[in-house]
Amino acid sequence: MKFKKLSFPFIVTLIIALSAISCSDVWDEHYNSGPLNKSSLNLYQYISQDTSLTKFAEMLRVTGYDSILSQSQSFTVWAPTNKSLKMVNITDTALVNNIVKNHITRFSYSTSILVNAGKTLRMFDNKLLKFEKSGAGFTFGGKAIILSDQAMKNGIVHIIGEYAPYTLNFWEYIGQTPDLDSLSVYLKSLNIKTYDLEASFQDGVFVDSVKKTTNIVLDNLAALKTEDSIYTAILPNNTAWKEAYDRISPFFKSTIAEGGATKQMKTAKLVLVKDLFFRGRLANSFSMLDTLKSTNGIKLADPGRLFSGAQRSELSNGYGYVTNKINIEAKESWLSEIRVEAESAAFDASDLVNYTQNNMTALGTGYSVSRGRYLKAESKTQSSLSKLYVNFQIPFTLAAKYNIYCVFVPTSISNANDARTNKVKFYLSYVDATGKQITNAAIDATNTVTTPTKTPAIFTTTPFQVQKMLVANNVVFPFCNLINLPRATVALKIENAAGVSGPDLVSFNRNLLIDCIILEPVQ
């Protein structure tokens, strides 16, 4: 099954793929024709006539499976004895139904098929249980078979001394555990029913209106309902849910234009759960791992701390760890570095003024450049009256504090003898605390964002090396910016400050060579 990574662009647009593990489907197992002497009775008749199975026979009648096991189709039944069912209340229809369906599968399986690892079979409740050889005998779901291979005309009965308990999967466990109701209510709220056009038609002819249900978490992070997709999950109880939401929500404070409080709430809750799921069963081996990667693709260091104090429950499709606190920090999950690669940035006509855009490779130059490529903004004019600047849109900023850097590539990357540097000015656009869009606020000599009316400082690059230049420090954005259309609310403008006088042309390059723009979170 394929999943999608819930990075911040995905949280808004639901894009980027991940994958999850699934075991093989066993519905395609076929009838086993072992050397058995078949009775003329059907499965239900045999069970109802065995005095040690009378309670299970009653349970078959209560659930309607007496009729199913009387059909000509082939089934295998692992029938629990009366003694093993002594404490089962026959009026508890949900429990009875679970037990019955947990002991019946399609097709016939005798013990003759059991070699090595045995067989994993899908029951009528969709659970996967092991049918295995154990020493001199056999087991089903870990329970000993006391009488095997009773061949009826429509299948096989094995009698077991203990019934195999119905084990909840993640979806069932979350929905039925009282202290997980905050998580449960949220996950269920993500169910969206839509019209399934393809399923509603057959051979171009409308058959019926068919709807399908999608769920961003189940479809992209963890198939919690699926028995053969195995996970380990951190499950926040109500206390942990509230603490995590209160901690995460402020980062996603949104303007009215971006959806306001409703958008903030929805985004924060999705961020809360996006890194809680991991592939496979993980039990008490966290100290042996350096990192643990979530199904969302985020690597988390020191896995032991993530599960510290959590209580483990064994579920049919993995291990659930109920915790009082989600021990995931902002900078390792949702508050990550933002990097805009200059050579692949999206520019409108107003973003490159009097420059042409050139995507350059650093291969073979000896210079270390992010992703091996950089932007060469090449001047189209030598007029002293013409402004030259590049304006970088910076989407997906959070309501947080950042240090902003620009990484410059030296002119010597293409000419080893060229020692010219760049003189530049910086301007920052952002939304202020009142929700007003501020455009081109000047950066002063102390790397502080001022106002559009202030004169910006001039910064000079270093020759002969790639330079990560600090532009502005401790910049606080009051609102997040998760929508990149039609324009980001945050942008960094880089203006060439070199003149066209003789000395300036000798000392400074009017072309700009830029690797990337980096925003590093400050906490």
* Model confidence pLDDT, tens digit, residues 30-41: 444 444 578 999
* Percent of the residues in the chain that have a pLDDT greater than 70, as a whole number: 92
d(CA 236, CA 242): 9
Band the pLDDT of 29: cuts 50, 70, 90. Answer: very low
What is the fold, at CATH topology level, of the domain defined by 338-521?
A: Jelly Rolls (2.60.120)
Q: Half-sphere exposure of 38 toward its Cβ, with a 13 Å CA cutoff?
A: 14
Predicted pLDDT at 9: 54
Q: Which tens digits make up the pLDDT trace of 390-421? A: 999 999 999 999 999 999 999 999 999 999 99
**Is 4 a residue whose pLDDT tops 90?**
no
Task: From 489, 487, 492, select the one nearest 425 (Cα to Cα).
Answer: 492
| pLDDT average, residue stretch 464-481 | 97
Predicted pLDDT at 91: 96
Mean pLDDT of the chain: 91
Band the pLDDT of 208: cuts 50, 70, 90. Answer: confident
d(CA 225, CA 186): 15
Greater pLDDT, 25 or 228 = 228
Q: Which tens digits make up the pLDDT trace of 289-301? A: 889 999 999 999 9
CB 193 within 8 Å of CB 239: no
Band the pLDDT of 1: cuts 50, 70, 90. Answer: low
Band the pLDDT of 6: cuts 50, 70, 90. Answer: low
pTM, to two decimals: 0.84
Q: Which residues have C-beta within 8 Å of that of residue 150, sequence separation ≥ 6?
A: 39, 46, 156, 157, 158, 159
d(CA 479, CA 131): 57
Q: Which tens digits make up the pLDDT trace of 445-466? A: 999 999 999 999 999 999 999 9
Q: Which tens digits make up the pLDDT trace of 333-345? A: 999 999 999 999 9
How does 363-398 read in b/e, with b if 16+ C-beta sit within 10 Å? eebebebbeebbbbbbbeeeeeeeebbbbbbbbbbb
In three-state form (DSSP H/G/I as H, E/B as E, the rest C), the secondary structure along 289-348 is: CCEEECCCCCEEECHHHHCCCCEEEEECCEEEEEECCCCCCHHHCCCCCEEEEHHHCCCC
Pick the CATH number of 2-22+169-332 from 3.30.470.20, 2.40.50.140, 2.30.180.10, 3.40.190.10: 2.30.180.10
**Residue carrying the six token digits 């028995």:** 227
What is the fold, at CATH topology level, of the domain defined by 43-160?
A: FAS1 domain (2.30.180)
Predicted pLDDT at 214: 93
| pLDDT average, residue stretch 427-453 | 97
Tokens coding 252: 């996603």
d(CA 34, CA 197): 46
How does 409-428 read in b/e, with b if 16+ C-beta sit within 10 Å? bbbbbeeeeeebbbbbbbbb
Q: Which residues have C-beta within 8 Å of that of residue 349, sequence separation ≥ 6?
A: none
Q: Which tens digits make up the pLDDT trace of 235-254? A: 999 999 999 999 999 999 99
Q: For CATH 2.30.180.10, list the domain ranges present in the chain.
A: 2-22+169-332, 43-160
How does 206-227 read in b/e, with b if 16+ C-beta sit within 10 Å? eeeeeeeeebbbbbbbbbbebb
Lowest mean pLDDT segment, chosen from 108-122, 198-212, 425-439, 494-508: 198-212
One-letter identity of residue 308: S
d(CA 389, CA 351): 8
Q: Which tens digits make up the pLDDT trace of 343-356? A: 999 899 899 999 99
d(CA 332, CA 326): 13
**Is 492 a residue whose pLDDT tops 70?**
yes
Predicted pLDDT at 285: 73
In three-state form (DSSP H/G/I as H, E/B as E, the rest C), the secondary structure along 487-519 is: CCCCEEEEEECCCCCHHHHHHECCCEEEEEEEE
**Residue carrying the six token digits 């400074």:** 508
Q: What torsion do the CA atoms of 113, 119, 121, 127 make, to the nearest 10 degrees?
A: 160
Band the pLDDT of 27: cuts 50, 70, 90. Answer: very low
Q: Which residues have C-beta within 8 Å of that of residue 46, sequence separation ≥ 6?
A: 39, 150, 152, 157
Q: For CATH 2.60.120.260, list the domain ranges present in the chain.
A: 338-521
| pLDDT average, residue stretch 120-125 | 96
* Residue 414 per-residue DSSP state: T
CB 421 within 8 Å of CB 504: no
* Percent of the residues in the chain that have a pLDDT greater than 90, as a whole number: 80
